[in-house]
Amino acid sequence: MGYRVIDKESYYRKGVFRHFSEDCKCSCSMTARIDVTELAAYSRQTGTRFYINFLYLLSKVINSRDDYKMGYLWQTDELICYDVMNPTQYVFHEDTETCTPVYTAYDPDYAAFYANALRDVEEAKKTREYGLDMANHPNWFDASYISWLSYDSLNIELPDGYLYFAPIVNWGRYREENGRLLMPVSVRLNHAIADGYLVAKVFRLLEREIAAFMKK
């Protein structure tokens, strides 16, 4: 786990950071639908899991900008940027109706990431423990698939004043609309390190990465 300390005085969001980390501590979240028609078709044709394919592209997006890799060390009051952000995915157990977090390291190589994510999921199926370990996984962002519903909005609440900077991303079941498959995606970021532009940028980057992935 590597990171660099951000100089708050030269930080390009200095004024915004101070305001939303001191005066008005809050988050910024957004839900929008993205077109996953081609990605779903690719997953079917290749016999790969759509969920893991999307998780890879999402992880690639999160690692494409420093704004999405920020962290806060409360012990020393330091703003930091991690070298890499890894996804915390989840396995749902039908028998207990509970989830187990799955820590999969991000790898920019698709084949390597897919194999590791699939292995981690299969291993997590063997337990029913919750097993969340945030203390030893500070540079991991929450990536949760809500497979039971194609929803219209979702809001993740955190306590006021809690400077949690890792992204929280959820996505639901895609559904057909006018011949295309649209999937709801929700992105939550702390307002101190991201505004509406940066949250919306996640969706634009996802669309770009999906399109690029289809051209390979």
Averaged over 100-119, what is the pLDDT? 97
- Top-tier CATH class for 3-214: alpha beta
Amino acid at 65: R
DSSP 8-class letter at 109:
S
Q: Model's pTM, two decimal places?
A: 0.96
**Lookup: tokens for 119:** 């292995």
Instruction: Say what the alpha-carbon torsion angle 138, 206, 111, 2 is, to the nearest 10 degrees.
Output: -30
pLDDT of 160 above 70: no
Q: Does residue 204 sit in helix, strand or coil?
A: helix
State residue 53's pLDDT score: 98
Taking only Cα atoms into account, the Rg of the chain, rounded to an integer number of angstroms, comes to 17
Q: What percent of the chain has pLDDT over 70?
A: 99
Tokens describing residue 110: 């698709």
pLDDT digits (tens, 9 = 90+) for 119-143: 999 999 999 999 989 889 999 999 9
Query: Looking at residues 175-189, what average pLDDT do you find?
Result: 97
Is 70 exceeded by the pLDDT of residue 73? yes
Burial category of 160 from C-beta neighbours within 10 Å (exposed 0-12, middle 13-18, buried 19 and up): exposed
Would the pLDDT of 162 be above 80? no
Could you tell me the CA-to-CA distances from 123 to 32, 91, 104, 167 in Å, in that order?
Answer: 32, 10, 11, 25
pLDDT band at 216 (very low <50, low <70, confident <90, very high): confident
Per-residue pLDDT, 161: 66
Give strand pairing partners of 81: 4, 70
pLDDT value, residue 158: 78
Kindly list the domain boundaries of the chain, sorted by start residue: 3-214
